[in-house]
């Protein structure tokens, strides 16, 4: 595939150019590990936290701190209430060194932007923003989990909290959210970025539909109809297209389980969600249940 070669080539090009810039401006005698540490210490941080944030071995961190301490850039003092924990903080010289690194890094970028016109700079930033959105979207993982998994409940809690803030009438989570363990026929998907849950959604088969409908429908209809619920995307990753990806993943998963028609209800105030459903090929139908939160209803026929 040609696209792959293009992306590889871009990666080589960009890292090489970046490397040249960094070597030129930044590589002024300070090893990378020490430089990262100077940034992360900030205005004081305990070693345990530094270790996890930078992913360092405790021995290695200890040695790095000793080296920086020997140069008079960092001091380490015990935690006031926990004698095991130690806290690192920058001295005046350390802050100056950090500011120096910072300004060298800024200079290298300023030198890059300098020859460009205002319009070219804007286009560069817009292209970078575009790549960021797409690469974030591409590296988010989507995975099925039990509906009572901790990540699932964490997402639903955030989802409910947000709806409670957005709906003028509030949101009654106890009544409207799917209870843990209730999803017997269907799939709960969780989206993760760097391991942290940042979105969710579920489809629920016939057994979870309103009693009147499941009674009216035959066995075939039971298998072929499902409802998508609780589609949520964390504000931290909104705007990168994750809602669309989750929705498509739910549809694929449902279709693989024999579902041919999905429906969903939503609130009139969730305009982005409504736009998403329309763009994804859903058509509006009369509302199918009496929940005050499902003011609008949409249906889509799945094609395998």
Partner DNA sequence: GTCGATCTCTGACTAAGGTCAGAGATCGTG
Partner DNA sequence: CACGATCTCTGACCTTAGTCAGAGATCGAC
Q: Which stretch binds a second copy (CB under 8 A): 72-80, 116-124, 174-182, 257-265?
A: 116-124
Q: How far is 217 from 240, CA to CA, in rounded Å?
A: 38
Tokens of residue 137, six digits: 């979207």
Pattern of binders to a second copy over 136-175, x per CB under 8 A?
Answer: -xxxx-x---------------------------------
130: contact with a second copy by CB under 8 A: yes
Q: Report, in Å, the least distance between residue 25 CB and a second copy.
A: 12
Contacts of 114 (CB under 8 A, 6+ apart): none
Q: Phi/psi class of residue 205: alpha, beta or left (left: φ > 0; alpha: ψ in -120 to 50)?
A: beta
Which of 23, 82, 100, 272 is the binder for DNA (CB under 7 A)? 82
10: contact with DNA by CB under 7 A: no
61: contact with DNA by CB under 7 A: yes
DSSP result, 278-302:
HHTT-EEE---S--TT--EEEEEE-
From the list DNA, a second copy, none, which binds 212 (C-beta under 5 to 8 Å, kind-based)? none
Radius of gyration of the chain (CA): 26
Nearer to DNA, 59 or 92 (CB): 59
128: contact with a second copy by CB under 8 A: yes
Q: How far is 48 from 255, CA to CA, in rounded Å?
A: 47
- Do residues 282 and 264 lie in contact, with contact meaning Cβ atoms separated by under 8 Å? yes
135: contact with DNA by CB under 7 A: no
Which of 32, 93, 110, 216 is the binder for a second copy (CB under 8 A)? 110
Query: Of 144, 252, 235, which is closest to residue 191 (Cα–Cα)?
Result: 144
Tokens of residue 113, six digits: 């932007």
From the list DNA, a second copy, none, which binds 124 (C-beta under 5 to 8 Å, kind-based)? a second copy
Pattern of binders to a second copy over 238-277, x per CB under 8 A?
Answer: ---x---x--------------------------------
121: contact with DNA by CB under 7 A: no
104: contact with DNA by CB under 7 A: no
From the list a second copy, DNA, none, which binds 85 (C-beta under 5 to 8 Å, kind-based)? DNA
Which of 114, 175, 195, 212 is the binder for a second copy (CB under 8 A)? 114
Report the half-sphere exposure of 35 (CA within 13 A, side-chain side).
15
- Bridging pattern class, strands 45-46 and 74-78: unpaired
Q: Report, in Å, the least distance between residue 197 CB and DNA.
A: 24
Helix axes 32-41, 92-113, angle to 10 degrees: 110
Strand locations in 49-140 (E): 74-78, 86-90
Q: How far is 102 from 10, CA to CA, in rounded Å?
A: 26
Instruction: Output the CA angle 183-186-188, nearest 5 degrees.
Output: 75
Q: Which residues bind DNA (CB under 7 A)?
A: 31-34, 46-48, 51, 56-63, 65-66, 76, 81-86
Q: Which residues bind a second copy (CB under 8 A)?
A: 1, 3-8, 10-11, 13-15, 17-18, 105-106, 109-110, 112-116, 120-121, 123-125, 127-132, 134-135, 137-140, 142, 241, 245
């Amino acid at each position: 595939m040609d696209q792959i070669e293009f992306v590889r080539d871009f990666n080589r090009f960009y890292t090489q150019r970046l490397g040249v810039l960094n070597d030129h401006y930044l590589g002024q005698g300070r090893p990378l590990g020490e430089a990262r540490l100077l940034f992360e210490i900030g205005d004081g941080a305990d070693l345990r936290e530094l270790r996890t944030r930078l992913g360092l071995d405790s021995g290695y961190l200890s040695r790095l701190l000793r080296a920086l301490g020997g140069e008079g850039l960092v001091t380490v003092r015990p935690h006031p209430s926990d004698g095991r924990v130690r806290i690192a903080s920058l001295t005046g010289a350390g802050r100056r060194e950090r500011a120096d690194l910072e300004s060298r890094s800024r200079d290298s970028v300023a030198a890059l932007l300098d020859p460009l016109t205002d319009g070219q700079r804007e286009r560069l930033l817009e292209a970078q923003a575009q790549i960021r959105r797409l690469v974030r979207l591409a590296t988010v993982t989507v995975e099925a989990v039990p509906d009572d998994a901790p990540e699932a409940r964490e997402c639903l809690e955030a989802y409910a909290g947000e709806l409670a803030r957005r709906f003028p009438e509030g949101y009654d989570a106890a009544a409207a959210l799917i209870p843990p363990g209730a999803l017997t026929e269907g799939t709960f998907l969780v989206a993760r970025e760097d391991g942290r849950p940042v979105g969710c959604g579920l489809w629920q088969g016939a057994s979870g539909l309103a009693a009147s409908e499941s009674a009216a429908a035959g066995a075939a209809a039971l298998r072929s109809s499902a409802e998508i619920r609780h589609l949520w995307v964390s504000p931290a990753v909104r705007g990168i297209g994750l809602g669309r990806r989750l929705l498509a993943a739910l549809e694929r998963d449902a279709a693989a389980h024999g579902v041919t028609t999905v429906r969903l209800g939503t609130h009139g105030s969730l305009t982005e969600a409504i736009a998403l459903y329309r763009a994804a090929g859903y058509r509006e139908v009369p509302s199918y249940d009496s929940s005050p939160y499902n003011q609008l209803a949409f249906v889509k026929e799945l094609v395998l």
